[in-house]
A = this chain, B = another copy of it.
Amino acid sequence: MKSVIFWLLESSERKHFAQRFVNSLIIGLIVLNSFAVALATVESYKVIYGDIFDIFETFSVVIFTLEYILRLWVCTEKEEKIYKHPMTGRLRYILTPFAIIDLVAILPYYLGAFVEIDLRFMRAFRLVRIFRFASNSKTLQALGNVFKKESRTLLAALLVMIIVLFTASTIMYYFEKDIQPDKFGSIPEAMWWGVAALTTVGFGDSVPISVQGKLLAGLIMILGIVIYALPAGVFASAFVRELRSKSFFDTWNLVAKVPILKNLDASAIGKIVEILEPYEVKVHQVIDTTKGMYFIISGVVEITRGDESKKLSEGGFFGEMETLFGGKRNVIAKATTPVEFLILRPKYFGEFLEAHSGIREVIKKEVENRSKA
């Protein structure tokens, strides 16, 4: 019983239908709660649908409470040793960031009777929990990795930004304090202008009006371009690199399914994997053969040249490659089942063929055979 619930709620692999179903329900309820909390703050909706919001809140909190208790109960099933102990393990679990968010989401409801302030809107913060459910997403993992790897660089960029911000705001305070005491009456107030200027947001609620203030602002705004580019450039570039290296292993596993490729030795596969691209098409879709050479991993493709047509399945290959060896053009390829491919883009043809003369011969012969037909 306990391990089943653990498997349903906390298992890191979520392949079984029941797991997906339970998790989808929870995600759905979280998203709906966020909507409900947001809409309940709109006066006009509150008046009309107030009861529905209340009922939904009670219902959600009950479910969330149940979920919280269950997670707390089964957390000792986790692989990590620190959670194994029935008492200290559970205490440790309670102090994990996600468990705190879960608690924060339900607690205000129960405290409603004792506390004056209405904190029930905190239910909405469970939205952050979606990151936990989406933790299988490659993109989000890549995002996390980039934040970890580049944290020093990002902090240094932040340090530069803060020093520029502070210095500029101090000078601006000195320039504007007597003219606009309501907006630049203190350095922290001047920094509110500075943040808006440096991040290029520019709300415009606080703007210098003295000549020297405007000159300084102009300088800071132009300098801001470079200061803005720093973290943005580092982050974007690291993120793109991270994403590309992520897809490497997925491709590797696919290469092993293509007969013409799988007999290569390890180092050759290592090279090929980098230049192949996985790709999927739906049933009945027409495939643009000019985009590269296609190796079929699963499914059936029908190749039509003029009147003749032929079916290729797992391990077959076709595409623009043929023109290299004098094959016929104007080929129409159509998926007769859903098909998975690996594509070799034309820009890698030369590199690929030169390195693997064996493969080259196989392809050449195959193309000649097809041309004769």
Query: Which chain A residues have a beta carbon within 8 Å of chain B's beta carbons?
Result: 34, 37-39, 41-43, 121, 124-125, 127-128, 130-131, 134, 137-140, 143, 152-154, 156-161, 163, 166-167, 170, 173-174, 177, 185-189, 191-192, 195-197, 199-205, 207, 211, 214, 217-218, 221-222, 224-226, 228-237, 239-240, 243, 245, 248-249, 252, 266-274, 290, 320, 324-325, 345-351, 353-354, 360
Check B41 against A186 for contact (C-beta < 8 Å): yes
- Contact call B346/A248, Cβ cutoff below 8 A: yes
Interface hub of A43, A221, A345 (most chain B Cβ within 10 A): A221
Contact for A200 among B138, B199, B268, B273, CB less than 8 A: B199
Task: Decide if A139 touches B152 in the complex (CB within 8 Å).
Answer: yes
Contacts of A140 in B (CB 8 A): 156, 159-160
- What are some 23 contacts across the A-B interface (CB < 8 A)? A39-B187, A42-B188, A121-B173, A124-B170, A127-B166, A127-B167, A130-B159, A140-B156, A154-B226, A161-B222, A195-B217, A196-B201, A196-B203, A196-B221, A199-B224, A199-B225, A225-B228, A228-B232, A229-B239, A230-B239, A249-B290, A249-B346, A267-B351
Candidates B163, B224, B249, B267; contact of A127 at CB < 8 Å: B163
Q: Which of B199, B200, B237, B245 contacts A236 (CB 8 A)?
A: B237
Which chain B residue lies CB-closest to A268?
Answer: B350
Contact call A130/B201, Cβ cutoff below 8 A: no
Assuming A157-B139, A199-B224, is B187 touching A252 (CB within 8 A)? Answer: no
Complex alpha-carbon distance, A230 and B139, angstroms:
11
Once the chains bind, are A128 and B167 in contact (CB under 8 Å)? Answer: yes
Sample of 9 further A-B pairs with CB below 8 A, known A121-B174, A202-B204: A124-B166, A134-B156, A139-B152, A143-B160, A203-B207, A226-B232, A229-B235, A237-B240, A252-B346
The CA of A269 and the CA of B324, in the complex, are separated in Å by 9
Give 6 closest A-B pairs by Cβ, nearest first: A233-B236, A270-B350, A139-B156, A201-B202, A229-B232, A204-B204
Question: Is B222 touching A233 in the complex (CB atoms < 8 A)?
Answer: no
Contacts of A201 in B (CB 8 A): 196-197, 200-202, 221, 224
Contact flag A231-B230 (CB < 8 Å), given A201-B224, A267-B353 = no
Shortest distance from the beta carbon of A270 to any chain B beta carbon, whole Å: 2
Residues from chain B with a CB closer than 8 A to the CB of A170 are 37-38, 121, 124-125
